[in-house]
Structure 1
Amino acid sequence: MGLVMKTMNYVRSQEELREMLGSPSLRGQNKVIATIDGHCRDYISKSPFLVLSTSDAKGNCDSSPRGDAPGFVYVLDDQHLIIPDRPGNKRVDSMFNILSNPKIGLLFIIPAMGETLRINGEAAIIKDEEILSKMAVNGKSPQLGILVKVDQCYLHCAKAFKRSGLWEPESWSSKEDLPSAAKILAAHVNMPEMTEERIIADLEEGYKNRLY
């Protein structure tokens, strides 16, 4: 740990944290349920995007975005849901983590809505063709799916979205001011043949032809 980190003033215990921040309200304590009820089903059916969080057996963490048409996550019953695995970069970090540590956290988002749906549980990787065919798009079924057994479901308030102005177009940066994905990747990959122009072409081809 560097010198700057060593000199910081740390919170060292749960008791100290509670003393500083206080305890959650009764509403905050009671809002957690252990099933996918009708309200959660409705939210999931309207959500086109989620963040999937996993960690490996050593606790190394990873967060991965997953998105598709609203309702792309298949609710199997009041305890289980399935996230279809669409074509990606083949790193499969989340799946490797699940194989060593099944604990998982999901954050469902609906555009223009500040409140998010959080789900925590245990995951497994499935390859059942019959079930996965229910999540086919353009005639293409996902090869794999992430089955999640739900332990906790609860709504998270909109304060983060309100503070960030995420859904307020007037607060957005202009396209010209945004970071260049191609420039970032070219610097990080650091391979002579992977120029910005090559990466732009590869990204555009993938977005056009390899979403499913």
Structure 2
Amino acid sequence: MTHTQFHDVIASQEQFEELRALCGNPSQRAADKVISHLDRHCREFIAKSPFLTLATADRDGRCDVSPRGDAPGFVQVLDEGRLFIPERPGNRRMDSIHNIMTNPHIGLIFFIPGLGETLRVNGRACISRDPELLERTAVNGRAPLFGIGVVVEECYMHCAKAMIRSGLWSPESWISREALPSPAQMLIDHAKLQNTNAEQVAKELNESYVNRLY
């Protein structure tokens, strides 16, 4: 079990209550900020967001977080209780889709570049092939094969502290391109690719980014 791999683990309700006493309770404002629908503020945020993270879990609770991104407004707000996320071509693993088929609970975080605050949306998801929604989310004449429909249960703004601490939107804090990890070399080592090199794999990755985005 996980707790056997770490020391001084909080594993009981009594220990959690002790931890809660140390951390304190959320303010009334933090407790009251959660709403159950997409109001005008949420709709504006989603319309201006080009990127989100999507959290799912399978029937046994094993979790997965996956990125989704496109031009701002790619996520369609259908009404105050529903949204639709078009599924663009990816690595074809379909981890999120498999999870949703067995466990509909989903969590989303929407980002807007340059804005520290994020929007969190929790709800229940399904896989939809609604022709009208697929046509509405087509790009360059190509409609997605399917998308993720979400029935909203909770929405709330998340504060900017993590963004401030990380310097995520501050170019002066970014490391140089020369010091960045090599995705190509990671792929070679993790997938145990034989008779290839990082330059070749990087070229293949870049070709897919240019020609197979939609």
TM-score by length of 1: 0.96
Point out the more displaced range, 196-205 or 88-97.
196-205
1:11 aligned partner, one-letter code: I
**In 2: Cα distance, 1:52 partner to 1:165 partner:** 22
CA displacement 1:121-163 (0-9 Å, x = unmatched): 0000001112211011111111110000000000000000000
Are positions 1:11 and 2:10 aligned together? yes
Give 1:3 shift: 10
Which residue is equivalent to 2:207?
A: 205
Aligned-residue identity in percent: 54
Which residue is equivalent to 2:131?
A: 129
Gaps of 5+ in 2: none
Match of 2:153 among 151, 154, 159: 151
Q: How many residues of Structure 1 are paired with residues of Structure 2 in the alignment?
A: 211
Distance 1:204 1:2, change over 3 A: same
For residue 146 of structure 1, give the secondary structure of its aligned residue in structure 2: strand
CA displacement 1:161-200 (0-9 Å, x = unmatched): 0001111111100000000000110000102144323311
Distance 1:96 1:9, change over 3 A: same
For residue 122 of structure 2, give the secondary structure of its aligned residue in structure 1: strand
Gaps of 5+ in 1: none
For residue 140 of structure 1, give the secondary structure of its aligned residue in structure 2: coil
Match of 1:76 among 78, 83, 86: 78
For residue 131 of structure 1, give the secondary structure of its aligned residue in structure 2: helix
Point out the more displaced range, 119-128 or 17-26.
17-26
| Alpha-carbon contact 2:3-2:9 (below 8 Å) kept | no
CA displacement 1:107-131 (0-9 Å, x = unmatched): 0000000000000000000011122
**In 1: Cα distance, 2:77 partner to 2:5 partner:** 44
Which residue is equivalent to 1:113?
A: 115
**In 2: Cα distance, 1:170 partner to 1:131 partner:** 40
CA displacement 1:80-130 (0-9 Å, x = unmatched): 000000001100000000001000000000000000000000000001112
Distance 1:210 1:155, change over 3 A: same
For residue 58 of structure 1, give the secondary structure of its aligned residue in structure 2: coil
**In 1: Cα distance, 2:197 partner to 2:63 partner:** 30
Distance 1:2 1:158, change over 3 A: closer
TM-score by length of 2: 0.95
For residue 76 of structure 1, give the secondary structure of its aligned residue in structure 2: strand
Match of 2:42 among 40, 49, 64: 40
Give 1:20 shift: 1.9
Aligned-residue CA RMSD in angstroms? Answer: 1.5
| Alpha-carbon contact 2:110-2:120 (below 8 Å) kept | yes
**In 2: Cα distance, 1:181 partner to 1:112 partner:** 25
**In 2: Cα distance, 1:4 partner to 1:176 partner:** 39
